[in-house]
Structure 1
Amino acid sequence: MRKQFARVVLWLFLLGGPAVYAQSGMTDSQVIEYVQQALQQGKDQQTIAMELLSKGATQEQLLRLKSQYSGAATSGSSSQAGEGGAVQDTGTRARKTTVANATDGEAALEGANTDEMKETMKKRQKLKVSTASENGVFGRNIFNIDKLTFQPNLNMATPENYRLGPGDEVIVDVWGASQNTMRLEVSPDGYVNIANLGPVYLNNMTIKDARQLLKQELGKIYADSANNIQVTLGNIRTIQVNVMGEVRAPGTYALSSLSTVFHALYASGGVSDIGSLRNVQVARGGKTIARLDVYEYIMKGLIQDDIRLQDGDVVIVPTYDELVKITGKVKRPMFYEMKNGESAATLLKYAGGFSSDAYKKSIRVLRKDGKEFSVKTVDDIHYSAFKLIDGDVVTVDSILNRFNNRLEVKGAVYHPGVFELSGSLNTVRQLVEKADGLLGDAFTGRAVLYRERENLTKEVLPVDIEGILKGTSPDIALQKNDILYIPSIHDLQDMGKVTISGEVNKPGSYTYADHMSLEDLVITAGGLKESASLVRVDVSRRIRDPKGTTEPDMIGQNFSFGLKDGFVVDGEAGFELQPYDQVFVRRSPSYNEQVNVTVDGEVLYRGEYTLSTKSERLSSLIQRAGGVSRYAYVRGAKLRRVANEEELRRMEDVVKMVRREIGETLATSLGLKVDSTFTVGIDLEAALANPGGDADLVLREGDVLTVPEYNNTVKVNGAVMMPNTVSYAKGKSVKYYLSQAGGYSANAKKSQKFIIYMNGQVAEVKGSGKKQIEAGCEIVVPNKTKKFNFATVVSNATSFASLATMLASLATMMK
């Protein structure tokens, strides 16, 4: 009913708020009665809200009633009248928790149910979390781990020895002849007040004793023998605990009354660098009531010493007595806090024992005796008797890096590897048989046995492996660390490789085999390419003379062969290759791939064309493209060419020189780099007028010829007042066009003006320049400079057809 009443209030908000639709008002009881009746009649919340508004109910009245009902639904002390006047509890039985199922400090903060406990968790979160390391003290970080808070489970069964105090809530359930539930809070004076009975003193009583007392007292008013009475603990109080001594944040902490010593240590940030984990003390009423050893919990999981704290308890962490370090071959090398009288055996147990490669016969102890250092060697039989003191450093050494029964066989056996020297395996013959015998390519004339002497030097013993296996030579007894090497015949012969290059599908080096022919190698290399010459295959061979005593005049042999269908048809019959031979399959001089060029712009048939001859020229290309269109500006035609390797190398040299002159920063900002193409200055008009003449350039692969439309403008650039583009006027001088750009600037170098034409050609201005000016050209006025430098050239780079053109021009000058 309460939830439905709340929904009615919500609908009232949605339907118009505080407006009143009727003059007469309704009392609170009338509103509640009306809502109950309407719900029983099956009306929805919207209809009920509309009817209440029409009857004079107000928003303030409904909000007040909703608040009262909501408070009654959530209050722990609210109840509903039941049969026979019994009171039935409707609140939750779950205790308010400091942290509900928390696994870290953030959850602990969210779960804290008092301001004091929230403040405690905030302080704890500010403390830096430490982790265990080799130079840390074992166990010290246990109270610095956010995931290990030691928070008590507040919804567990109430411990019988739990002592009640002010703020605790006691829940009393009565059932049987009578039914009632009472939630009673212990007052600051230690009493709970029971209706019809009066105050009952419960302070500092265990829950067990309080249960007996309340059953006795309640029996006075619930005297019927059919009644049952149960007493449990409800919400619990917060206690104040002082954490003192060597902790990271000593102080007073507000904790749950179910908290233990470990949780108090966690709240205070854990033990400090000089604090003890082995002797944590709890003082109550001026007396020490418990001493805790944290190592017992870490090592064995024992928590019986982790006692529950009470209000006013003091947790004291004294300084450590002994701190000992263990290094070397143990599972957990680090510092450990030891109690007086604990032995080396106990330290080894704390460190997790020896690692697998530890030397276990003895350990070394470095000790400070008050005056100087001393070293003590402790044998394994004395580990339990040797007592450690503060400052000891225990070292566990590693076992020796050697073997006491190792044999090895290498080379031409089926299973080379390491074997055990034993009673059944202690001779050369037995070792070979253990390796499953010799391979077919084993060289049996002589094997080698490498042996280690007592002084750890090496010696080599020859072995007649064939004689030993046949029984004609005596077997050789083996010793530890012997290595038997049985060579292969291939190891003793330089078989080498043969190499094939040129026009084959898979050029490279291949393993030599006896009786390998030229045809065999060609087939192994994937056969001949389409471009291979069948009349010229060359073979070069080294000169070998192991018994020679003079330097020969001949340094190599060369052979030539002709092939047909992959077989030798011309040359030395029965020719066989030898190790390190090199085979060269030549390219046929009559083989040529297509060489393509492109023509674009104002021609009839633009696109790609394949050159017919190596000497084909511009005029031939225009003719094959159907000639130029009537809109073509032939004098402005330009040729774009792909740079070959030599041209690219020269342009790279120019770029490097320019970068040194102007600096890397300016060169980078200008985008100075080598382009793979550049513009060639041409005169297509002259080439078409005189085919085959000097102006008719020979084309090469990748050339792009562009014939533009007529462009009747002239650009003026460089050291002028206002760079400009103006209309071309035939017969006008350079001065005319400069005036269109505002004339020269103050730093103009008037005598070195030049003109860049659309076709990529450049010309120096002579005289008035009337006859030099053409449509589409660009007039450039350079800046004055005291001396020539590349910065000046690059600063005018935008005036060129491209930066690559400038580099190509400079590269040509550097030839």
Structure 2
Amino acid sequence: MIRHYMKAIAIALALVTAQQAYALSLTPEQQRQLEALPDSQRQQLMEQYRQATSSSAGSETQQAEDQGKQNERGKQPGVIPLAEAQAQSSGQSRETGGGAPDEQTVSGVQEGEKTSGEDEKTAEDILREEYKEWRQASSLSGDDLLPFGYEMFAGQPTSFVASGDAPVPVGYRVGPGDEVRILLTGRENQDLTLTIDRSGTIQLPKIGPVSVHGKTLEELRSYIQGIVKEKFIGVESFVSLGELRSISVFLTGESRNPGVYSVSAFSTISQALSVSGGIELSGSLRNIQLIRDGKVVSQFDLYDLMLAGDRSADTQLKSGDVIFVPAIEDRIAVTGAVVRPGVYELEGPNSLQDILKLAGGLRAEADPGKIQVSRLRPDSKRTLIDLELKNAGDFNILQGDTIRIGKIHDRLRGAVEIRGSSPITGQYEWRQGMRLSRFLNNRNDHLDDDTDLNFGLIASRTGENYDVTLRRFSPKDVLANPGSQADPILKERDSILLFEEGESRLGLLEPIIGSFREDLGAEELPPLVSIDGAVRYAGTYPLLEDHTINDMIHFAGGLARDGQSLISADLEFGLLIRRQGDFGRQINPIPYRPVSALNQPHSEDNLSLQELDRILVFNRNDSRSDLLQPVIEELREDLLPGQLAPIISITGAVKYPGSYPLLPGTSVKKLIGYAGGLTNASYALEAELIRQSLTQQRAESELIKLSLKTPEDQSLELAPTDRIHIKRLPDLNLQQTVTLQGEVNFPGSYTIRRGETLSQVVERAGGLTDYAYAKGAVFTRERLREQEQKRLDEAQRRLRRDISTSRTDAPGEESTIEGDEETVVRVLEDIGEAQAVGRLVIDLPELLAGETSRDVRLQDGDTLAIPEISQAVTVMGEVQFATSHLHDPSLSIKDYINRSGGLAFQADESRIYVIKADGSVTVPDQSRWFGSTDPVEPGDTVVVPLNLSQLSSMELAKDVSQIIYQVALGAAAVQGLKD
């Protein structure tokens, strides 16, 4: 407490020392408090603030000018701390402009400055941090509640701040520093603004000093009007107050920012608390004391203001007043179903009813019969007291009690719910004997267009533990036969689930599946079943009572269908994977026939289901390995030493080769059935069985010959790891075709026999036409195309790598000429566009002439394209203008190149070559390159490669460029025939 007084007195001292910067002085009460301090402390305070305030200068004239500026804006000075008044008087500008009271800083004088992080915190954040620390030393228990009322004054002021528009309180008496405005009209027209000086007088022009100190506004108005009427004839006066004086008050005790504050002369206790930033959590809100001239003149209970709006004790302040906030004594906590849960301050004896009134009363869901009081006993142990409000309204509440108000069990009763694909989803009243047709009796009004009409569920909660049970129904049957057995009777709290056609059903079922997984014992398995494979909505579903495979397939939307709406499931073989043993760690595969389970619900194939069963429905068009692989892997786990995995395999001419679980009593015939049966290419006279056995030293294999037509072999029972291979008939269903295009008498696709040659097929096609150019025939093969494409791709990757790692100015290399970079880019583009053709060079004229060594043994997919007689010679590559020329036997290679404009700048003259019409490549002898005997024939192509020797690490590009030209030529020839 002394620390707060010392700080407040020191600040006031600093202001007085600064030549009365804001026209403030210590009041007699403050002076007495200062003199009561020891000499050493008083001297220390004066020395501490002497230098800090020596530079602050001001005068009453400067103060009047500042007030005049505010007067022009029509604003009151508002409420500001003394420290800020000092800064204003020394000419320091404020960030906010300082005009309106709402914009002025309201924090009190503190020992240290707040950080920016603290300034950004909200009042609630600050209170929560403080309360968390305070609570650790508190006796309260219960929820993390905030003390009531402290946030009202915390942080920046948002209320209780005086403004220029506020009316002057009744009974306010003017004094030094107040402005009096006098408007004279009539023979004299003047607008006077006069400030009351320290002697309590104002200077009226032509009249002189007039004493007005201590008068109320009404008294002042009557007094001045009387003087004006007496001194001036024909002059009317109108009197009002302008800027009012500021007064200094102390805030001490448990204030958040104790100190001396400059406030408006008609401010009250609550306004001063607001500008000071509020009250510490350790301070009392119910016993705030106003001390004037050393006596307590008022005690203010903030709860009266906050809970009842009562400001009768909110006394108006006078200069020199001290607002003292004592420490809080008693607190209790109220939590649960009340309007205002929080921590409240006690004032005198309080009953339970009083405390509930403080907390705003009970909420609608509160249970008056479920009230608990947690009380700290003198032995530092807590005890719990259960109360009922009707019998304990007068129960006395003590310091540290925590009161918890319970809630009623808010569960909706007497209702049913509709969920899913329906326009009438929601909750409805339930009545005894109500049937589902009460809600589903009109297709258009009660069901969506895409509702699944064949399947719906009713989820009921029954038994003492409200366990979930499911019933299945058909919306179509409910609409067609209301009141029948197909129209189920509803129970209270039923949920009717309607599913959308074509959408997964797991969305509506997710809460039910979650409830099935809850509250299980250590050895209990969740009542869930999964179904995978050729069904419409595979997934995990709740297990219904007496659930069978038939029910589960319908649960999953039925069997899947292909694009033609045909059932794509294998109707002859399916598997049920059942879990057994401790925690379901062992699996037991059980076969079933889906067709029997669906069409004959009472057959043995329609197996009853258990917890965690997994139903596999295989697709007759796909491999079964995807569904069986998890089962196979699990069967291979946890094997004992010397134990073989219960897995068998079948390969060869069956529809679905692969590995299968070894089921009890599985024979060779049954395994073939599991695999979809034999194909028409199977060799039924002989099959092979590889059987493995373990000895103490090693594993041994045995080969067993089987005849699939022998009943004894068909009924042979299989053992773990047995492998059966069904032999395939050679060449059965082998359909191979070749295609003849171009100049043949009967072009088209021809089915060939194994070993048939090209000459034989050409003969079957009627031979060549009179316009055929046999030398230019293009023969392509798919297998060669694939191989060439791989080599071309590899060459492309190597070339790109060499280009990216090469340096054109490497030592020993020639300097790069202009345009090399563009050339490299063009080569890479050509490489990226090149696609292999798969051309096989043949000599068709000799082949047709009967040269058997030249004949080609055909393969499936071969193509022969025979062009029309050609008269052109094509020049490609690095020439000025690549084009084709009419064949002239007298022209040489050089002549054709010259006719194309000659060699280009980057041509590689030493590597020119000719691609013949049949696809072969010739490099003319250098000794006769440009002689008259150069072998250029119709359909030939002269290729002038790109000279890449000037580019470093580019030797590979020379080979690649040749590949590109060959590929382009072959592709052009084939495309020409198609056009």
Task: Give me the TM-score of the superposition, normalised by structure 2.
Answer: 0.42
Task: Give me the TM-score of the superposition, normalised by structure 1.
Answer: 0.49
